[in-house]
Structure 1
Amino acid sequence: MIKEKKYSKESAHDVVFNLEYNSERPHLMIPEYGRHLQKLINQAVAVENRDERNKMAKYIINVMGNLNPHLRDVLDFQHKLWDQLFVMSDFKLDVDSPYPILSREVLQMKPDRLEYPQAFPKYRFYGNNIKYMIDVANKWDDGDLKSALIKVIANHMKKSYLSWNKDTVKDDVIFEHLYELSDGKINLLESSEELINSSDLLRTNQRSSNKISNSIPQKPKIMKKGKPNVPTHKNQNRKPQQ
């Protein structure tokens, strides 16, 4: 028979009042590793012998790697684990790391502000890339290569115009916008240049939109209630031969 353990009132009192609640415990730097690993790192910080601290740090790194096997395919896997080790130790662990030791200042450093493109362009339907292409064309010397680039830009502008505006547009409108966006350096208003037909551009836009819609997964069709369609055979009603 299994004997039940008997606890005195004093021992039960100690168990109840010595419970450890998460609200009373120290904050975890990286909760994904759990509190046991955090306690192990705290013990490594308290060790006075440097050689012993190095051994404990390598052991902790192995444990962290086993807890996250999916990180083994990530570039600089060991480097990331060592950085996390110093973060969880609150940068108090003094050990020999095979990588540059992460500091609190580097961790709290803010990235540089990104330079966003023009916020409010006049002709938004052309996009910012068209303006970049026009600026590149302005820097090129006159010749066949520059003329070909300007024609490509004008046709793309017409395609973008038709995608967001009317079903047709005159080439003079595109040439006026091109003249304005190029600061008067590209002038096709008096040229005999003809752009691609509007119907051909609309057909291209429709073809590209159909490819996008076909790539999106559609919901399965719900069958209506009714009798199932049982396939019939020609010889189904024929009597068997005797």
Structure 2
Amino acid sequence: MDIKGLDYNTQREPLIMPEYGREIQNMINYTVNVPDKAMRQVCAETIVKMMATKVTNRYGDTNFEQTLWDHLYIISGKKLEIDWPFDVSKAENIQARPEPMKRPDINEHVRLRHYGCLMEKIFEKLKTMPEGDERDELVRLAANQMKRDLINWGHGSMDDEKVADDLARFTDGRIQLDLSRFTFDNMNMSSNEGQRKTPGNTKKRRQ
């Protein structure tokens, strides 16, 4: 429905950088079309000062002032002709997105889903590692992570002997965890128990 006199956001020009608001964008659009270069320069410098007040949480950022000029360049659609105090040729890199992370090989078979492919890679590494402090530390990290995985997948239940047995089995017997000497990290069980509560089991505070 189009009612004369009403201005809807859906009918307006999309905001290039919403954090600065529509008024800043309108001022930049106006400045682009100012015929006098000296006046465009004055307007641009004033706009940058106003832009700084919109993103006060970035005051401590490195190269904060240059970032503002980069943003001015982007919002203007690279059409603003002024004497730029900074090199804005790489301004668009600010909006560049990182390359997507490589997904695990879909053909890679995970024997134990509750441990995952990363733990299986650790098992493979432990098979070939020589004895020493480095291997001992990796064993400690692996055993504790295995215990956490068992707690998560077992709804809070786990068995230290299960960890030792799996560790030995999936390293072809190279790693034998001595439970009489090995100490696991303290595991926080409360978070797992809290996830299993249902609304019907929770007592109401108000009657």
Give your verdict on TM over 0.5: yes
Structure 1 unaligned blocks of 5 or more: 1-16, 180-185, 225-242
Question: Paired residue for 2:65?
Answer: 78
Out of 99, 107, 110, the position equivalent to 1:121 is 110
Closer, same or farther in 2 for the Cα pair 1:152/1:78, shift >3 Å? Answer: same
Q: What residue is the counterpart of 1:156 in the other structure?
A: 144
CA distance in 1, matches of 2:68, 2:97: 22
Structure 2 counterpart of 1:63: 50
Structure 2 stretches of 5 or more lacking a match?
195-201
Aligned match of 1:178: 171
Q: Which residue of 2 aligns with 1:182?
A: none
Q: Which amino acid aligns with 1:175?
A: A
Higher relative contact order (CA 8 A, sep 6+): 2
SS of the residue 1:125 aligns to: coil
Partner of 1:178, secondary structure, is: coil
State the Cα distance separating 1:59 from its structure 2 match. 0.9
Contact 2:119 2:142 in 1 (8 A): no
Matched, 1:96 2:83: yes
The residue number in structure 2 matching 1:112 is 99
Aligned partner of 1:222 in structure 2 is 205
Q: Distance in 2 between matches of 1:53 and 1:108?
A: 25
1:10 counterpart residue number: none
Q: Percent identity?
A: 21
Q: Secondary structure at the match of 1:97?
A: coil
Q: How far did 1:32 drift?
A: 5.0
- Selected match of 1:209 from 189, 198, 205: 189
Q: Distance in 2 between matches of 1:25 and 1:222?
A: 48
TM-score in terms of structure 2 length: 0.61
Contact 2:73 2:91 in 1 (8 A): no
The change in CA–CA distance for 1:161 and 1:175 in structure 2 (over 3 A counts) is: farther
Residues 56 and 162 (structure 1), Cα distance of their counterparts in 2 relative to 1, 3 Å cut: closer
From the superposition, tell whether residues 96 and 223 of structure 1 become closer, same or farther in structure 2 (CA, over 3 Å).
Answer: same
Distance 1:82 1:100 in 2: 9
Aligned-pair RMSD on alpha carbons? 4.3
